[in-house]
Amino acid sequence: MAVTDILDLVKKKAKEDETFKQALLHTKDMEKPVTEFCKICTENGFELSAFELVTAGEDAYAAMKRSTNGGGENSPLLEDADDLYGMFLLELE
């Protein structure tokens, strides 16, 4: 299952379970937020690793950049545009 599909399922559960939602939001204050986020997801039945989450964000951003300029895009990274974790938390809040 794709990381974005897993995140959709996690988001659905978080909207139904306030305790789960708060646990996910609390990860942003931890020393290793992405690792802790993935740990909570996995403990709740959503198999997700930090590597997969980070890579999926970078891959999605790279694909978006290639699609807008035929692959010749060399502009700087938009702040947090490749951060699926950060964008996910913003949507939950």
Please, which pLDDT band fits residue 74 given cuts at 50, 70 and 90?
low
Does the structure show a pLDDT above 60 at 76?
no
Does the structure show a pLDDT above 80 at 84?
no
How does pLDDT run across 1-43, given as a tens digit for each residue?
888 889 999 999 999 999 999 999 999 999 999 999 999 999 9
For residue 81, what pLDDT is reported?
45
Phi, psi (degrees; rounded to nearest 5) at 72: -100, 15
Which residues lie below 8 Å from residue 60, measured CB to CB, with a gap of 6+?
4, 82, 84
